Amino acid sequence: MTKSQRLIELMVRVYEKQNFTVEELALEFDVSYRTMLRYLHELSGYGVPLYSNMGKNGGYSLLQTKTKQPFLGKKAVSVNKVIKPTTHVIGLEFKAPFTAFYMSKSFKPFLWKELHKRKTEIKNLLHKESYIGVSLSRSHIYHYIAGVEVTKPFPVPENMVTISLPTREYVVYNHFGSEEREDTDQTYFHMMEKLKKQGIKLNPKNYSLELFDAKNPNLLTIHLPLES
């Protein structure tokens, strides 16, 4: 098991337990106290909201920081329809029960950082400066892949995955600004209201796409699959 895989498993476990000690997790993952403490510090650096408990029992807890911000509407969200040809993607994936969807704020930055480190291992890139996130979040399993588009879905580097999506029609819109989940969710729900008024229906059983360019990381182009 690679270190990145171990950190992802640890992240899932941390969100499941909510409250824990370093000793408990070290024993569960069969590593030393120092190693587990280092892992927890790394998760904290990736955005997992860990809070150190003082007192006799000590340990750590997840800090609940959920707040809702109003939609600022600085730029209008325009909606278009496109037919995207067969899409081949290679990258790093995360799978968890749908109830763990709220973990996306923490694990997405982790996956992207790892992908940037290993991007040179991926052959047949379609666009050298472009990236694509592939997600399925309306199922009992939340599935996310941080990857790049390729002309051929092989070879696949060690501990990476590949996915090929057939030619499909999508509704497309742009999100400007922060990639924080709360911010992108505001744009998403604002856009959903527009689709509802236009009578446009989505297919939640198919994968959604998030495209962005390294030269303009503040512009995220979202593709949501339409019903056939």
Q: Which domains does the chain have, with CATH numbers?
A: 3-62 (1.10.10), 80-225 (3.20.80.10)
Q: Are 36 and 29 in contact (CB under 8 A)?
A: yes
Cβ neighbours for 188, distance < 8 A, ≥ 6 positions apart: 175, 222
Query: What is the structure's pLDDT at 72?
Result: 45
Query: What is the structure's pLDDT at 3?
Result: 75
Query: What is the structure's pLDDT at 58?
Result: 63
Instruction: Show the tokens assigned to 59.
Output: 């340990």
Query: What is the structure's pLDDT at 17?
Result: 87
Between these two residues, 128 and 72, which has the higher pLDDT value? 128
Q: What b/e string do you get for 65-103 counting C-beta neighbours within 10 Å, with b at 16 or more?
A: eeeeeeeeeeeebeeeeeebeebbbbbbbbebeeebeeb
Query: What is the structure's pLDDT at 104?
Result: 65
pTM of the model: 0.76
Between these two residues, 95 and 162, which has the higher pLDDT value? 162
Cα angle 15, 145, 227 (rounded to 5 degrees) comes to 105
Q: Is residue 145 pLDDT above 80, yes or no?
A: yes
